[in-house]
Structures are given as structure tokens and as C-alpha cells.
Amino acid sequence: MKTLPINPIQRFLQGALALVVLSGCSTGQMVVRGSQSIMDSSMETMNRETDLVLARDSMPANLKMIEGMLVEDPGNTEMRLYAAQGFYGYAFGFIELEDPQRASQLYRRCYDHARKALSQTGVTLDPEDSSPADFEAAVGKAGKRAVPALFWTASCLSNWINLNRDDPAGIAALSSAATMMQRVLELDETFYHGGAHIFFGVYYGGRSPMFGGDFDKSEHHFARAAEINNNRLLLVDVLYAEYLARQRLDQSAFRYRLTRVIDAPADLYPEMALINGIARERAAHLLQYENDWF
């Protein structure tokens, strides 16, 4: 019997099928993993977005797309972290001030994605249910590869706790968030523009010394975060005012920091234009309460 020649398209499809079989991946997984560079570029362009309305309107569709990819590739750590970061940014930037209850639910989804990513890096203990000693020991073994998962797990958990202060279990889990952020400081204090230092600025500055606050430590961490990002990330000033200046009843620092944010040039930090835009809106919102708080 005469064998028919294989055309180039058939040869390509056969080769692609062979790659899928040999790699042990489904077609969906291969598509997801092949889109990694596209997702990197998408995150970069979102961070550079200057139109907050456009950013707010586009983020939900992007988040559902990422969750759809995770259905195909649930073990994809990088995609889990994209989901966590996206839900965190959407909740903090656009939902928290107008609908805290919904923001709480979004932070919980953020935390669920980040925790799965953390488990995939080797830290499998539950941050909410483990004993402080056991969890600290497990986190202490984490290497630099775990830094993003540690950071986003702690960030999402702590913001959820902040919106659920009447939940005793949540307050108890705050020590786990601090344990994870302390490990981030040890492994890479510059990660996400000094984000772990910002965390501890809020952690120590948002409580009175009677309840574990430490204003000197808060001041140090905020200053170090500003140094790491060359004083270009306006969120540092906003959170300094919202937590440390307010707790100290330092009205002049409160007003100075927030006014500096509002008056900052639009092109101060193009790579983080979206976060700086969100910081300006939050600063204007906080200034409305100056006479109530001081």
C-alpha cells in the first residue's frame, strides 16, 4: 500500500502532541505556562496605568482569566501569586474604603491563592491553625524562592485581619503574618519596594505601646521602606499618616505626609503609577477625617 506524504501542518500537530505526552502536561497546562511572559507584561502595564477608572474596570476580568488558568494548571505557583497580588490590589485600591465587607471577602480569596503558593514552596503548615513555635520553625526553613509567597500570604492575611478585628482567631493569626514578614526581611528586605518594612511600619505604628505598638520601630521601618524605593512610593507616606501619625496624635505629620502625596508629580514613579494614583486618592480620603481624629 502506498503511504501518503505528511504535510507540514500534520507534522507540526504530531510534534506538538508528542511534546504534550512527553512532558506529562495537558494542553491547557502548556497554554497557561506558555503565557507566562504575556502575564508578566500585563502586570507591568497595569502597574504603569495612570487612569484609575480604566484600571478598576479592567481588573475583575483579568482576575477571572487568571483563575480560569488556575483551573487548567492548579499547581502553577507563579499564577497563584498573580492571583493573590491582583486580588490584594483590587481590594485595597478600589473596594476597601467603600465596601469593607466585600473587601474582606476579596482579601480572603487573595489569602487562599497565596497560601496555596506558599505550600507549593514547602511551607505547608497552616498560618491560622499552627502553634506559633511550629509555624516559626517551618518558616525559618524557607529559602529565597519562598519570598513572594511569604510576602503575599502575610499581606492578604493581615489585611483580612484588619477588617475583622472582632474575630479573636484572626487577631491570633496576626503573629503568623509577622513571622512570615520577618522571614522576608531576612531573605530580601527590598522585595516589592521594601514592602515588608511597610508592613512593620503599620504593625508597630497602628497600636499603642500598651497593646504591643512601638513607635520608634514603626518610624524605622517606614524610613527604611522610603529609602529602598528612593522616596518615590507614595503609599509609604499614606500609611505613615493613617497609622503612625494618627496613633501618635501628630496632626502636623498627618497633614504634611498626606499633602505631600497629593502634591507629588504625576511622573514621580512611572513603574508604579497605579499604586501612586491609588495613594493620592486614599490621601484625599483620609484628609477628610482630620478634624474628627485630632
Q: What is the pLDDT of residue 167?
A: 82
Res. 62: pLDDT tops 90 = yes
Phi-psi region of 24 (alpha: psi -120 to 50; beta: other; left: phi over 0): left
Question: Cell triple for residue 26?
Answer: 495537558
CB burial string 93-107: b at 16+ within 10 A, e below: bbbbeeeeeebbbbb
The tens digit of pLDDT for each residue in 91-143 reads 999 999 999 999 999 999 999 999 999 999 999 999 999 999 999 999 999 99
Res. 3: pLDDT tops 60 = no
Please name which of 128, 122, 121 lies closest in space to residue 77, comparing C-alpha atoms.
Answer: 121
What are the residue ranges of helices labelled H in 128-167?
Answer: 132-140, 147-162
Please name which of 196, 207, 289 lies closest in space to residue 247, comparing C-alpha atoms.
Answer: 207
Dihedral angle at the C-alpha atoms of 260, 266, 271, 276, nearest 10 degrees? 40
Please name which of 119, 120, 113 lies closest in space to residue 64, comparing C-alpha atoms.
Answer: 113
Question: Cell triple for residue 60?
Answer: 475583575
pTM surpassing 0.85? yes
The tens digit of pLDDT for each residue in 138-185 reads 999 999 999 999 999 999 999 999 999 888 877 789 999 999 999 999
Question: Cell triple for residue 263?
Answer: 502634591
